[in-house]
């Protein structure tokens, strides 16, 4: 009949863009969900512990901001971030990382993850090559996959990214006419492995990337959270040719709930990042920015860092001791000098898959971890797992690791070849 149309159930599958057809990767969401289940000791999410937050001080700062600058705090702000926060961060980059930068080179982002996303928007076309450490941060791998980058993985050892292998790979790629868009690295207290790139490799890495004309993206999410050993220089501090991009975040030193990070990039790139941020979220939260700035100025961030280091040191020690006692013979793990994580490699056994076992560990043993496979682009890591020691209470760690150790021992016995 004219003017009448048959209503139909919407078919979404045909509408999804090709990159979102099929199963969406929901690993991060799954980690968040597992971490929040009642009664579960979570070694999964890379969260700061609740007692790291300086709630009374942050509340006082927030109240004062709302009282004195309420209209600004509730309003949109400039896309690049408030000038005062960019100035503060330029100074902090010098004080904390020995990096000389101008406020115009600092772009405020909605978390470091947005910084990565903006970089991909500006630099990556489908099929472009991006180089990562293997293993690497799951959120970064998922971001690169979203932009349909081809990921080249470079193995790590106990001293971080294997720069000699990177040199070989860069030479190989060059022979094939491929110039990677960037090398993504977390040189200090890496997520997930907990390793730190040693001093000699740092300079080599910066020089190598520069020689090939490939930018280095330095993700410094955990860099200020050292609890043992000597400090290393930021890659950005070694950069003489403008090829290093620095990603910072307030998530691990103040609050992930503020959703605030920053990118330090050469001016030409910073301007492009600001242009794409304009249509992404227009600006990061004004209230968050004012709170972070005030917490920085008043030393709240530095006090939180000092206190977090003490707590992390205790927690890491508790985890190392428990792994030693309870994990299956032949397991290996990283002894971190800072950050939130250690990385465990179980004895390789046919059929052992930490990814498949995760749900069972949560249901039967009430312990959550993140399986190794989540941290590789090409499916390795079935006998590996990441353990976060930051989030659980120190007292919970030993019991949780005991249950997890028993769980894996049982699984390994099941998978042992019959004699």
Binding site for ligand PLP (CB under 6 A): 46, 111-113, 137, 139, 186, 191, 219, 221, 249, 251, 256, 261
Nearer to ligand PLP by C-beta: 257 or 351? Answer: 257
Beta bridge partners of 106: 264
Nearer to ligand PLP by C-beta: 139 or 243? Answer: 139
- The phi, psi pair for 29, rounded to 5°, reads -60, -40
Closest distance of CB 136 from ligand PLP, Å = 8
Closest distance of CB 249 from ligand PLP, Å = 3
Closest distance of CB 247 from ligand PLP, Å = 7
Q: Give CB contacts under 8 A, 24+ apart, made by 272-280.
A: 272/122, 273/107, 273/115, 273/118, 273/119, 273/122, 274/79, 274/80, 274/107, 276/118, 276/121, 276/122, 277/79, 277/80, 277/107, 277/109, 277/114, 277/118, 278/79, 280/114, 280/117, 280/118, 280/121
Closest distance of CB 140 from ligand PLP, Å = 7
- The phi, psi pair for 3, rounded to 5°, reads 85, -5
Q: What six digits make up the tokens of 384?
A: 């590996």
Closest distance of CB 119 from ligand PLP, Å = 12
> What is the rounded distance in angstroms from the CA atom of residue 30 to the CA atom of residue 209?
35
Please identify the residue of the shown chain whose CB is closest to the bound ligand PLP: 111
Nearer to ligand PLP by C-beta: 111 or 328? Answer: 111
Nearer to ligand PLP by C-beta: 194 or 328? Answer: 194
Among 260, 186, 188, CA closest to 218: 186
Residue 103 exposed, middle or buried by CB count within 10 Å (0-12, 13-18, 19+): middle
Closest distance of CB 235 from ligand PLP, Å = 14
Nearer to ligand PLP by C-beta: 85 or 349? Answer: 85
Closest distance of CB 406 from ligand PLP, Å = 29
Nearer to ligand PLP by C-beta: 123 or 141? Answer: 141
Nearer to ligand PLP by C-beta: 249 or 384? Answer: 249
Cβ(162)–Cβ(134) below 8 Å: no
Q: What six digits make up the tokens of 381?
A: 């890591």
């Amino acid at each position: 009949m004219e003017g009448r149309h048959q209503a139909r159930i919407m078919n979404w599958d045909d509408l999804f863009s090709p990159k979102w057809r099929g199963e969406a990767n929901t690993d991060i969401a799954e980690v968040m969900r597992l971490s929040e289940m009642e009664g579960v000791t979570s070694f999964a999410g890379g969260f700061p512990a609740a007692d790291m937050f300086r709630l009374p001080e942050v509340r006082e700062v927030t109240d004062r901001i709302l009282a004195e600058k309420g209209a600004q705090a509730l309003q949109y702000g400039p896309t690049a971030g408030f000038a005062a926060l960019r100035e503060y961060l330029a100074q902090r980059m010098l004080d904390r990382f020995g990096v000389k930068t101008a406020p115009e080179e600092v772009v405020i982002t909605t978390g470091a993850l947005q910084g990565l996303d903006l970089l991909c928007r500006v630099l990556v076309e489908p099929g472009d090559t991006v180089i990562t450490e293997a293993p690497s941060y799951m959120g970064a791998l998922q971001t690169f996959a979203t932009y349909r980058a081809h990921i080249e993985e470079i193995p790590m050892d106990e001293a971080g990214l294997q720069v000699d292998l990177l040199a070989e790979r860069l030479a190989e790629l060059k022979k094939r006419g491929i110039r990677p868009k960037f090398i993504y690295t977390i040189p200090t207290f890496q997520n997930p492995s907990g390793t730190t790139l040693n001093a000699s490799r740092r300079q080599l890495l910066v020089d190598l990337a520069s020689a090939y004309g490939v930018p280095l993206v330095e993700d410094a999410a955990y860099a200020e959270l050292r609890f043992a050993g000597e400090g290393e220089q930021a890659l950005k501090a070694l950069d003489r040719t403008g090829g290093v991009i620095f990603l910072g975040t307030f998530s691990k030193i103040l609050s992930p709930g503020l959703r605030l990070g920053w990118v330090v990039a050469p001016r030409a790139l910073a301007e492009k990042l600001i242009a794409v941020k304009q249509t992404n979220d227009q600006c990061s939260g004004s209230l968050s920015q004012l709170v972070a700035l005030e917490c920085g100025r008043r030393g709240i961030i530095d006090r939180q860092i000092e206190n977090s280091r003490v707590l992390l040191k205790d927690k890491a020690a508790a985890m190392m001791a428990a792994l030693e006692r309870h994990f299956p013979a032949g397991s290996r793990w990283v002894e971190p000098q800072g950050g939130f994580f250690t990385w465990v490699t179980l004895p390789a056994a046919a059929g052992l898959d930490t990814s498949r076992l995760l749900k069972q560990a949560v249901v039967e043993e009430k312990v959550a971890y993140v399986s190794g496979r989540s941290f590789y682009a090409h499916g390795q890591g079935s006998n590996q797992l990441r353990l976060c020691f930051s989030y659980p209470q120190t007292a919970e760690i030993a019991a949780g690791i005991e249950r997890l150790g028993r769980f894996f021992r049982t699984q390994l016995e099941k998978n042992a070849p019959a004699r």
